[in-house]
Structure 1
Amino acid sequence: MKFLVNMIRILPLIFLLSCFMLRSQQVTVLDDDTLEPIPNVAVYNPERTKISITDFDGNFDFSTFLNEDRIILKHLSYELKKVTRLQIIKNDYKIFLQMKPERLDEVVMSVSKWEQQKKEVPNKIVSIDARTIALNAPQTSADLLQSSGKVFVQKSQLGGGSPMIRGFATNRLVLSVDGVRMNNAIFRGGNLQNVISIDPFTIRNTEIIFGPGSVIYGSDAIGGVMNFYTKQPILSQKGVTEISGNTNYRFSSANTENTVHAEVNIGQEKWASLTSFSYNDFQDLKMGSHGPESYLRNSFVKTVNGEDVLVPNEDPRKQVPTGYNQTNFMQKFLYRPNVNLDFNLGIHFSETSKYSRYDRLIRPSRDGQGLRSVAWFYGPQKWFMGNFQLKKKGKGKLYDGLKLTAAYQHFEESRYNRDFQDVILNATEENVDALNLNLDLENKKMGKFKLYYGGEFIYNTVGSKGSDTQIVTMDKTEAASRYPDGATWKSLAGYLNGEYKAKPNFIVMSGLRYSHVWIDALFDDTFYAFPFENADLSTGALTGSLGFSWFPKQDFQITFNGSTGFRAPNVDDIGKIFDSEPGSVVVPNPDLESEYAYNLELGIQKNFKDKLVLKGATFYTYLVDALVRRDFTFNGNSQIEYGGELSNVQAIQNAAKAYVYGFEFGLDAYLTDQWSLSSNLTITEGIEEEEDGTDSPARHAPPTFGDFHVRWKTEKISTDFFLNYNGEVSNDELALSERSKDYIYAKDENGDPFSPSWYTLNFRSQYTIANNLNATVSLENITNQRYRTYSSGIVAPGSNLILGIGYVF
């Protein structure tokens, strides 16, 4: 009896110990970037006397392996991994594998909004994964795009970054976060900095589509689409609550950056939460030592005892003022009641401090004796997005996958400017409320044919106010707004996109979309006698694509794609009043139509035994009814007084055609398991054709640019020594609108503005100190070059030391 009593007492302990032992024998294999489980990984010791395979959840039993065994993990798409039993236990029974860089079976989502093999897609797509982002350590998401070597980025100020893709920029590119477009009714043709609202610490993958993407993304997708996919909450694989996360700190010397980041994931079997927070503080940016003297900031305007004075800059290499700070927050929830159904809720918030538009602060005064502006700065840029998404797999009569997305976004931006010795500070404040509804479906039930289809509804409302403040008395009066207050922009669309595998090595993709756009804006004639009362626009657009991906041999790929894109006029096009450049003012024009792009591209990729991959692409895009800024009349006048200056009248018009063509080359060489090389080169030419038959260079066609990388990598350390290069843009090759901005350009031998060529040598590295601790050390612009990228107002950083530390728990 006593024996039975003791057994009853210790049975719970035996049960708990057994559970712990069972748990301790299960190891989970995860993707290092996405943190998703990896099935079908072979696990064995060198003698292959013990072999296991990971299941659907990425788990395997390693109870048969001894403490002294060296455990090897092998998968076709991942780097070989060698670990010990002790290392596995120290890492909480998790093993992380890294995807092979030379893989051709990479999965992408951007072309159809569903997972597709990259090799089956005829479009050129560039992916930047979380591992690459961590090594590059970009300050902003604009820097992240630039670090790819395939996207050109313009900056008017430190708090900015306007991507250019294949000769198009700003409102001719689509910016998307987790499948929701950020483009709104006031995205302008001038440079945009909305991309900096996306926190690079939260990005798990970025996919860039080159060329028109209007079939899936509608208006604005002429030059390309930039999709940012942020991190997802991670469910527990072990039936108990799991808490994980990481913290990061980064410092850079060129602008005395201090950045902190923290995120926490709480995972249970059916639900998970991910919380992320980042704070950046940037001081004034310092340029390099070797370059044009005209780039130096020798003086700036300062208000002393109520009087504006021009004062010398103690350090002409310091660009005063350029500093700002930024806060980012993200909260996500995932609920998965079963393997076929997901509910996702994502909340994003970003806010900057006010920051100066540097290129406006270096404009010379009208008499050429000083500087024109005392102040020209943006107020805090704010972005909020609430995004709910339902994902359902299988068992639908008409679909195998369904995504229903409902998102609300709120944007705030403002501009403040005051001229030298002027007592009036002018301000315009804008906000946009945007509602997006998307239904996307996937059907794979038709044998060799896959169908993707869906619909989209977008509704934007614009709020806009203007004011003048007397800086001495602080009296504030109402002034003209930048846009018609209360204007609305709506879009309704439906699309079909099909993929047909004619042969195992020949895949055809084709798509069709119809979009309809409405604009309703009422003009206030309090400050200007408009010759019209409202803008009531209704326009439709039909776009399509047809392309193929062909493998004549297993290691040789040819892609071809023909597509059309469009951009419908928005509120910025029809209703803006803005001092566009010295001596010119833009006025509203309600009589606009959509512009269309016709694109052809050919791509080739050759893989030499997974040791050398060569890539090449050529493209040609023709733009008709282009929405461009041209001379105009307002109430019959070609000039009006604006801001105390007699200015030429201009407006956005369907007044030009344009064509852009270019070549893109890429090389990846895998010399050994540790050493690799890569290089990219992009050549773009763009011409605008006026109605009178004259030609001029396109503004957003960047100079020739490229990079060359030498990388060395082991399990603990990754290094990258690389060169960045930009070609020259001569005066003859400058767009007419750029030639008038001679204050941001160097002077050639004739005294005319031009953009010189430049190069930088750079080094970056990442070292894994322990399983949960890593450090990054980078040195950019080693030779301390003083250069300004094409069309940029701010001069690039000089020698820049970047230090980072990250801790994973």
Structure 2
Amino acid sequence: MNKILPILFFMVFQVLSAQQIKILDADTGDPISNVAIYNLDRSKTIISDIDGMADLSLFSPTERIMFKHLSYQIRRSSRSQIWKQNNRLYMLMKAEQLDEVVMSVSKWEQQKKDVPNKIEVVGAKEVRFTNPQTSADLLANTGKVFVQKSQLGGGSPMIRGFATNRLLISVDGVRMNNAIFRGGNLQNVISIDPFTIKNTEIIFGPGSVIYGSDAMGGVMNFYTQNPQLATTDSLEISGEAAYRFSSANMENTVHADINLAKKKWGFLTSATYNNFGDLVMGKHGPQSYLRNYYVESRGEEDYKVLNENPRKQLPTGYDQINLMQKVLFSPNNNWSYNLGLHYSETTDYSRYDRLIRPNSQNNGLRSAEWFYGPQKWLLGNLQAKQRGRGIFYDGLKITAAYQFFEESRNDRGFNDAIRYTTQEKVDAISTNIDFENKRIGNLRLYYGGEYVYNKIGSIGSELNIITNETSESATRYPDGSTWQTLAGYMNAEYKAKPNFTLLSGLRYSHVWIDAIFDKTFYPFPFDDANLNNGALTGSVGFSWFPKTDLQITLNGSTGFRAPNINDVGKIFDSEPGAVVVPNPDLEPEYAYNIELGAHKNFNDKLMLRGAAYYTYLVDALVRREFQFGGQSQIDYKGELSQVLAIQNAAKAYVYGLEVGLEAFLANNFSIVSNLTLTEGLEEEEDGSDSPGRHVAPAFGDFHLIWKNQRLKADVFLNYNGRISYDNLAASERSKEYIYAVDHEGNPYSPSWHTLNFRSQYAFTQELKASMSVENITGQRYRPYSSGVVAAGTNLVLGLGYSF
């Protein structure tokens, strides 16, 4: 009898546990609550709980059971089938979700359908499927953001004719933009590890009400993974390991993360290592893109060497490491404390576009060396969050962050003994306090304040590679200069009717700059730059559903960018035949934007989206001819150069149209397509105009997607339009070496298209493999304004295991 009782108990336990199932998201593995579970005649109905658990004892083992949720595709199964799958049922998210939640517009969760701004959301499952090399490629894969690359270790987004320091990047709510973000192309976005991203939200158009200076053309918010807490009292361990290979640059990437969870504590550790080789371009395209020669240094001499494989872009390879540590403490349902530590570092990597510049005689190469030193980024971010009714708020976030940036530039002319180096370090401290208030009827208020402080360290040196002697030289920026801003904002969401929502906001920002110029190397006609500027920005818009399947949005907003240290204090930065000098007499530039959007749903079979916008920029900070000490040309590093400086010297306007569609032809088959058209001009003070530098060509994509529970496959076309010589910005016309040549001998940017294939297969819910073939036809193309030529035919393999 003593032996029989345990056996009976075990059998009863097995029967009961077989009736308990867990319902999970097929892509993320997260539990799904509030799933309606019923039989065919709806005589039996239950609902899954907050942990996705449901008891199926009400149903017979072979009875057909329906699983339905507003956000997921309907599943049909039975108790016996689910038992064979370890009592787990996976559901696929619907492609179109009108109740999708976004955080970027107010820093708090809002229904996307209530927001008048155009926002693109890229979730972790989409990142895993597209399997990007860098976060710049993640943005490009959306088909809605144009990305420029001066070198393989780069990626400078362009949104609606704006780029670089006119776009804002944030990580977990902390602005990455610092006081030396430049108007030229930036590569800071590659410091963000795609493996750690939970979701990315891209705001199209000004976002200055919430994000302040720089958020003129758009905002890119990267939200990284947070630690998971345990559902039981025991320690729960989970994690992931992944590998990626791409043939075009012989990439090898390894990633691992582990999550340790208790009920109140969570620890998430992540590490990624990338090894990128030299990039190989395609076979079919302009001959001028080939890398026929490169420079090789032998002893004290530089030699122009024939490249055995002209399609290999020498040198472009580099390595990178990304580390992340998150700690979450949640003592109760109202409070949580989240500490995030991010670190990224690259090896040296060449600025490829500078290495292919011909010399003035056009019979050789101008530079023997031009490379960036290691790009380093450290972010420490502590956030305290409270939920629950307070006297003045229903939600509170306090965020304190410290960031450290380090970068350097190193260049040496062909057969020049001197290597010039400038190194910059930025210490950035920021504090944000954000409130949410839901208590005033249909009115929701969001308000808060921000303080940001940047301090710049800048040194310059010259190394004689023959004698190995080092001496001091001019810095790139005034050493010890500071940039700081203090701001307050308020955003309001008013649901006038169930189908009509108003959103408006106001922000005041004040910016201070303090920089002292060292006259050791250059006789500056001024001693310092002390700027003290204020800016008031606002937005107002509505989201209206005249019918349940039609949405109309209208939004008007202003954005601004205060001059930073790069604008007022850049000391003698050279480009071919020109030199940029400081200008302490600058004021903020402002953008005024209006946007009309529409979204039409045809019986959940076809979704059409469109947005038209117009942006007007005044007091634009642009690079123009200048005088230094009364001279328009000066001798710089042995070359007579035109003097340029950043000035409030232009107006500009950009307008465009963005359209997209999703068509669901069957349960497993869909079509997705996007097209972006942008036009823009800069107006000079004399009334003349010229094409905008960061106005991308027409670009888009077209996808044929098939998927079931295990396999997802995507055959797609990427394409870019042509920019003729007449429509090429004046600053780009001087870069003949990166462009093709038309029949009149003028540089231009050709149109191009690529055919691609992407797939992902789930052997089990834990083990997934991916395979992609990019640029199948081997096109040789260079995206507009890019220095590096894009990859040729590229096989990408990935393998991931989660536990």
The TM-score, its normalising length taken from structure 2, stands at: 0.97
Correspondence 1:335 to 2:329:
yes
Distance in 2, Cα, partners of 1:358 & 1:425: 17
Pick one of 601, 606, 624 that aligns with 1:607: 601
- Decide whether the 8 Å contact of 1:577 with 1:585 is kept in 2: no
Distance in 2, Cα, partners of 1:519 & 1:87: 67
1:51 to partner: Cα distance:
3.8
Correspondence 1:738 to 2:732:
yes
- Decide whether the 8 Å contact of 1:142 with 1:163 is kept in 2: yes
| Cα deviation code 1:80-139 (max 9, x no counterpart) | 345666886787765554321111111111001111111100000001111111111100
Partner SS for 2:732: helix
Partner SS for 2:538: strand
Distance 1:550 1:644, change over 3 A: same
Partner SS for 1:319: coil
- Decide whether the 8 Å contact of 1:247 with 1:263 is kept in 2: yes
Supply the AA of the counterpart residue of 1:384: L
Pick one of 768, 772, 781 that aligns with 2:766: 772
Partner SS for 2:165: helix
Partner residue in 1 for 2:613: 619
Distance in 1, Cα, partners of 2:166 & 2:116: 21
Partner SS for 2:676: strand
Pick one of 115, 119, 134 that aligns with 1:121: 115
Distance in 1, Cα, partners of 2:679 & 2:328: 46
Distance 1:740 1:252, change over 3 A: same
Distance in 2, Cα, partners of 1:199 & 1:687: 35
Supply the AA of the counterpart residue of 1:447: G
Distance in 2, Cα, partners of 1:19 & 1:276: 38
Correspondence 1:173 to 2:167:
yes
Distance in 2, Cα, partners of 1:315 & 1:103: 49
Partner SS for 2:209: helix
- Decide whether the 8 Å contact of 1:33 with 1:204 is kept in 2: no
1:455-474 map, 5 Å: 455-474=449-468
Correspondence 1:508 to 2:502:
yes
Distance 1:526 1:267, change over 3 A: same
Supply the AA of the counterpart residue of 2:104: S
1:31-110 map, 5 Å: 31=25, 36-44=30-38, 51-62=45-56, 72-82=66-76, 95-110=89-104
Supply the AA of the counterpart residue of 1:515: S
Distance 1:463 1:332, change over 3 A: same
1:75 to partner: Cα distance:
0.3
- Decide whether the 8 Å contact of 2:230 with 2:263 is kept in 1: yes
| Cα deviation code 1:235-269 (max 9, x no counterpart) | 11233221111111111110001011111111111
Partner residue in 1 for 2:422: 428
Partner residue in 2 for 1:417: 411
- Decide whether the 8 Å contact of 1:32 with 1:131 is kept in 2: no
Correspondence 1:261 to 2:255:
yes
Partner SS for 1:399: coil
Pick one of 481, 492, 512 that aligns with 1:487: 481
Partner SS for 2:726: helix
Partner residue in 1 for 2:357: 363
1:71 to partner: Cα distance:
5.5
Correspondence 1:202 to 2:196:
yes
Distance in 1, Cα, partners of 2:84 & 2:380: 38
Distance in 1, Cα, partners of 2:214 & 2:357: 31
Supply the AA of the counterpart residue of 1:221: A
1:639 to partner: Cα distance:
1.4
Partner residue in 2 for 1:676: 670
Pick one of 611, 628, 632 that aligns with 1:638: 632
| Cα deviation code 1:189-244 (max 9, x no counterpart) | 00000000000011111110000000000000000000011111111123322111
Partner residue in 2 for 1:707: 701
- Decide whether the 8 Å contact of 1:219 with 1:565 is kept in 2: yes
Partner SS for 1:733: coil
Distance 1:692 1:736, change over 3 A: same
1:580 to partner: Cα distance:
3.8
Correspondence 1:350 to 2:350:
no
1:69 to partner: Cα distance:
6.0
1:32 to partner: Cα distance:
5.0
Partner SS for 1:235: coil
Correspondence 1:755 to 2:765:
no
Pick one of 180, 185, 204 that aligns with 1:186: 180
Partner residue in 1 for 2:384: 390
1:468 to partner: Cα distance:
0.4
Distance in 2, Cα, partners of 1:14 & 1:464: 76
Distance 1:37 1:561, change over 3 A: same
| Cα deviation code 1:306-361 (max 9, x no counterpart) | 31000000000000000001101111111111112111111111111110000000
Partner residue in 2 for 1:535: 529
- Decide whether the 8 Å contact of 2:32 with 2:51 is kept in 1: yes
Correspondence 1:519 to 2:513:
yes
**Structure 2: runs of 5+ lacking an equivalent:** none
1:646-685 map, 5 Å: 646-685=640-679
Partner residue in 1 for 2:291: 297
Partner residue in 1 for 2:401: 407
Distance 1:405 1:69, change over 3 A: farther
- Decide whether the 8 Å contact of 1:484 with 1:522 is kept in 2: yes
Partner SS for 2:330: strand
Distance in 2, Cα, partners of 1:593 & 1:754: 34
Pick one of 673, 676, 683 that aligns with 1:689: 683
Correspondence 1:243 to 2:237:
yes
Partner SS for 1:770: coil
Distance in 2, Cα, partners of 1:558 & 1:214: 23
- Decide whether the 8 Å contact of 2:559 with 2:590 is kept in 1: yes
- Decide whether the 8 Å contact of 1:121 with 1:509 is kept in 2: yes
Moved more, 472-481 or 749-758: 472-481
Distance 1:33 1:174, change over 3 A: farther
Partner SS for 1:142: helix
Q: What root-mean-square deviation, in Å, do the aligned CA atoms of Structure 1 and Structure 2 show?
A: 2.1
1:39 to partner: Cα distance:
2.1
**Structure 1: runs of 5+ lacking an equivalent:** none
Distance 1:340 1:25, change over 3 A: farther
- Decide whether the 8 Å contact of 2:438 with 2:445 is kept in 1: yes
Identical columns (%): 65
Distance 1:86 1:390, change over 3 A: farther
1:166 to partner: Cα distance:
0.2
| Cα deviation code 1:270-299 (max 9, x no counterpart) | 111111111111100000000000000000
Distance 1:492 1:94, change over 3 A: farther
- Decide whether the 8 Å contact of 1:34 with 1:204 is kept in 2: no
Distance 1:85 1:346, change over 3 A: farther
Moved more, 785-794 or 43-52: 43-52
Distance in 2, Cα, partners of 1:101 & 1:518: 46
- Decide whether the 8 Å contact of 1:91 with 1:771 is kept in 2: no
Distance 1:87 1:392, change over 3 A: farther
1:436 to partner: Cα distance:
1.1
1:530 to partner: Cα distance:
0.9
Distance in 2, Cα, partners of 1:43 & 1:769: 27
- Decide whether the 8 Å contact of 1:416 with 1:427 is kept in 2: yes
Partner residue in 2 for 1:321: 315
Distance in 2, Cα, partners of 1:265 & 1:701: 43
Count, aligned residues? 803
Supply the AA of the counterpart residue of 2:277: Q
1:367 to partner: Cα distance:
1.1
Pick one of 485, 496, 506 that aligns with 2:490: 496
- Decide whether the 8 Å contact of 2:720 with 2:752 is kept in 1: yes
Distance in 2, Cα, partners of 1:86 & 1:806: 30
Distance 1:43 1:582, change over 3 A: same
